């Protein structure tokens, strides 16, 4: 998968993409990250935002630097990217959206900053608007990192053990069951007997029951969707 990131702050991504699973994925050549600084493509590099027409607080990201960057990047390859605009007004990001996006060959993430985007960036380009939740951040950079992390770990081959995806929270619509590791007893707190029993059928039943109980208690809203 090719992932292009269009941003005014490419340096913010360097650390996140250079560690852990995201780094391993690019080392295995399962993903290629490309950072583009929107400012570099602006006619006036010192002016990428401006005051809103009609008045109002804050600054609005100008259309021209974003359109220019997208056009320059699209010239690099014949493959059409799925363009994603990070904005609090977008579709709510979820595990199932992450799964869908992980099947795309080419994602282009456009992160805005300041008060918002000039509306023509939304309407004049074929973009999929994506929000990571109902709160407003100071820019789309952190949301883009979150989307990249959730998507890349689902690309086949990125995680060493594919079962870690099948068993985790949200995959089957439930939260994950409780996990334990050694020691069997810590500060008087014991690992449930059944997990040490070696009875795989019983362990599976226990996992299912715990996942269900936990979801009912902590997130009844997602249980309704299963």
Residues forming the site for ligand ADE (CB under 6 A): 86-88, 131-133, 135-137, 140, 143
Reported as half-sphere exposure (CB side, CA atoms, 13 A), residue 33 has a value of 24
| Cβ-contact 66, 35 below 8 angstroms | no
Compute the distance between CA of residue 108 and CA of residue 45 in angstroms, rounded to an integer: 22
- Choose between 144 and 158: whose C-beta lies nearer to ligand ADE: 144
- Choose between 9 and 173: whose C-beta lies nearer to ligand ADE: 9
Question: Smallest distance, Å, CB 197 to ligand ADE?
Answer: 45
Q: Which of 139, 3, 199 is nearest to 82 (CA)?
A: 3
Tokens of 158: 């990125």
Tokens of 198: 């070696």
- Choose between 77 and 96: whose C-beta lies nearer to ligand ADE: 96
Residues in the chain, overall count: 226
């Amino acid at each position: 998968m090719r992932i292009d990131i269009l941003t005014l702050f490419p340096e913010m991504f360097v650390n996140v993409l250079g560690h852990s699973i995201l780094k391993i994925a690019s080392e295995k050549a399962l993903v290629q990250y490309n950072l583009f600084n929107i400012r570099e493509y602006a006619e006036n590099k010192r002016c990428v935002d401006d005051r809103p027409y009609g008045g109002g607080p804050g600054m609005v990201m100008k259309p021209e630097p974003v359109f220019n960057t997208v056009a320059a990047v699209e010239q690099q390859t014949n493959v059409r990217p799925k363009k994603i605009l990070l904005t609090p007004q977008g579709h709510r990001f979820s595990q199932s959206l992450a799964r869908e996006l992980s099947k795309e060959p080419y994602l282009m993430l456009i992160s805005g900053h300041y008060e918002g985007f000039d509306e023509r960036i939304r309407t004049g380009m074929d973009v999929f608007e994506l929000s990571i939740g109902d709160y407003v951040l100071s820019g789309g950079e952190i949301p883009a990192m979150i989307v990249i992390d959730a998507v890349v770990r689902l690309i086949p081959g990125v995680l060493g053990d594919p079962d870690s995806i099948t068993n985790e929270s949200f995959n089957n619509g439930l939260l994950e069951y409780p996990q334990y590791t050694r020691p069997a007893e810590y500060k008087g707190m014991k690992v449930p007997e059944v997990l040490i029993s070696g009875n795989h059928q019983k362990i599976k039943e226990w996992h299912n029951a715990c996942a269900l109980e936990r979801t009912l208690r902590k997130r009844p809203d997602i249980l309704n969707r299963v």
